[in-house]
Each structure stands twice: as C-alpha cells, then as structure tokens.
Amino acid sequence: MGHELVSRPARLLAASLLGLGLAAAPVATTLASDVTVGAGMRASAKVYDPDSGDTVSTTSVDDVRLYVSGKVSDDISFMFNTDYDNTVGNVDVIDAAAQFKLSDTSNIWAGRFLAPSDRANLYGGYYANNWNFPTAVQDLYPFKTTGRDDGVMYWGQFGIAKIAAGIFSNTYGTAEYKYAGRAQFDFWDPEGGYYQNGTYYGAKDVLAFAVAAQGASGDNSFTGDFLLEKKLMGGGVVSLEAEGAKFDGYGGKGSGYYGLAAYLFPQVVGIGKFQVLGKFGQVKPKGGSTYNSTELNINYIIKDQNCRLSLYYLDPDSNYKTYGLGLQVQM
C-alpha cells in the first residue's frame, strides 16, 4: 500500500503531546518573561612604559561577564553572574544569591555576593567612573572571588538612609566568619537597590555619605566614602568622589584614601559625549612604603556604562606607567 495506517494509540499519544505543548506554551512564555540575561565585556590596548628597559604593548579582552537574573515570585528573585578574568584565565561564579524582598525596609540576601563595604567595591570596574579598578585603597581588601563572599545579609531603605549588615565566610586569617556592615545617607536623589554606581552621568543629582566596617576575631577595617554628582544648568555634569580607609588588622595594617574629580561635557560629538577625569590615591601600609596612584582619563560616553571608550594614563608608583585605550560594552 502507498500509505501505512497510523494506529489509534499512536494518534491518541500525538494528540495528547500536542495538547500538552499548547497548554505549556503560556507557562514557558511567562517563565521566560521573568528571566533577564545580559553580558558585559571590557577590552583594551595598552603600552607599559617602565622606568628602565623596553616598552611593552598588548591588546586583550580583559574581562567578560554573563548576567542572569529572574523572579521566582513577586517577593523572591535570584541572580547568577559569572566572570572571566584574563589576568588569571579563570571563569568564576561571582554572584549566586537568593533575594527575598519583604518590603523596602526588609531585604534578605543569601548566597555569594558583595558584602557591605565601601562604595568603590560595591560598583566595581563596570560601574566605576574611571577606567582602572581596583587601585589604591581597594588593594588592601581581602576577597575571594572578584570582591564576593558567601554569606547572608539584611539590608533596607529608610528614607534617606540605607542600612546593610551581614555575616560571611572569612577568606582572610584563621577566623571562620567575618562581619560586614554599611550605613549610607543620600541627601539629594535616592539611589535605589543595594549595589552602587560610581556615576550616573547626570541622570541623578547625588550627595551621599557612607561609613562601612568589616572584621573578624578582633581585626577590623573601616571606611568612609563620599559622592557628589550634579547636573549643571548648561547640561554638563560634575562628579566628586572620595574615600578614606583604615585597616586595623583585617586586610593588613595601614590607611589610605583617594579623591576623584570628573566633568562630562554637555555637547554631543558624533554619538557620544566627552568626559575628563582625574584620580589620585594613596595607601600607607604600617611598616611599609607609601603607595601612590595617579590616573587621568579622557572618556567618550556613548550609552552610560553600557558603551564607553576610555583613553587613559595610569601611574601606579611601581616603576612603570601605562597608556591605554579601553572599550566597555554591556547589554
């Protein structure tokens, strides 16, 4: 015969599978709409100019990240982020955390994420105003995976105040656990969420002060940080950022500070705006040599932190200077 007959059980199975598929389609669509996937990349071409010897030129993809987040319900969400760091050649899980939002004043996070600390650690390289991160003060923080630790934390927003405190696994010294806490006060526009920005490129007027502490077994670190960012009448944006830190056994012993100033020009040139930036930092380890770091940037801001170019000069006070061009893209 030209065609074989399909048995009745087979027809029933096919119809059942089709029906299940149609019934499941809205569920799959709903699940997909609650999941967000993104990615980020930082690449650069740079020239190392030592005080003695030959200069060295390199080009590299410095860092790549994959971001995944989603909602389990209106009150429960999850984030999972990975990071490829070219300096060590590894792919690491930097964030893997369940997030419970009971109210604006009551949020509980559990898993791996950034413990409460200074503003710079809470924005990292992708949301810093300057290109090079970390430099100066952040070098003294003992962290396991790109600034993250495993633990549980409470944080909440109370008007102008944002409070965060938690307990985490300890990656420094012999103590099993460390504590971490931060209190921040926003006197102009509020900064939503737990993680921070180094700049908002004029989307917010920010005047913020914060103090933070971390420690274990009587060893502590303390920081105070400040950010002022204001959009001026002509459309330009001025940014002033500063931090002071004291390390009393946790991360070593010593002190440090940095100051940063930047100006974003209001004129659109091509598809972006130009920004000029300068940063100076200093660390004084107890019993060691003072470490200075100077950075200058000419940045071309195309779409805030999602697309920007940075022509930079970095003098890290370590017998060489670096000249570079960096590209950052996120989606």
List the beta bridge partners of residue 323: 47, 313
Model pLDDT, residue 64: 97
Assess whether pLDDT exceeds 60 at residue 215: yes
The predicted-structure confidence for 131-190, as pLDDT tens digits, reads as follows 998 766 766 666 555 778 899 999 999 999 999 999 999 877 788 899 999 999 999 999
Q: Say if 3 falls within a structural domain.
A: no
Between 133 and 41, name the one with better pLDDT. 41
Is 313 contained in some domain? Answer: yes
Q: Is residue 287 part of a domain?
A: yes
Q: Between 53 and 33, whose confidence is greater?
A: 53
Residue 2 within a domain: no
pLDDT band at 83 (very low <50, low <70, confident <90, very high): very high
Query: Alpha helices, DSSP H only, in the chain?
Result: 8-33, 119-123
Q: For the chain, first and last CA: distance in Å?
A: 57
| 91-118 per-position pLDDT tens digit | 999 999 999 999 999 999 999 999 999 9
The pLDDT, as a whole number, for residue 141 is 67
Average pLDDT of the segment spanning 267-272: 98
DSSP label at residue 140: G
Q: What is the DSSP string of 77-97?
A: EEEEEEEEETTTTEEEEEEEE
If you average pLDDT over every residue of the chain, what do you get? 88
pTM above 0.85, yes or no: yes
Query: In angstroms, what is the C-alpha Rg of the chain?
Result: 24
Quote the number of domains for the chain: 1
Expressed as residue numbers, the domain containing 291 is: 8-330
Angle (CA) 261-262-267 rounded to 5° is: 160
Residue 19 placed within a domain: yes
Range 76-86 average pLDDT:
94
Closest by CA to 223, choosing from 190, 256, 252, 185, is 256
Coil, strand or helix at 54: coil
The CATH number of the domain where 176 resides is what? 2.40.160.10
Residue 163 lies in a domain: yes
Whether residue 35 lies inside any domain: the answer is: yes
Mean pLDDT of 193-207: 97
Of residues 317 and 110, more confidently modeled: 110
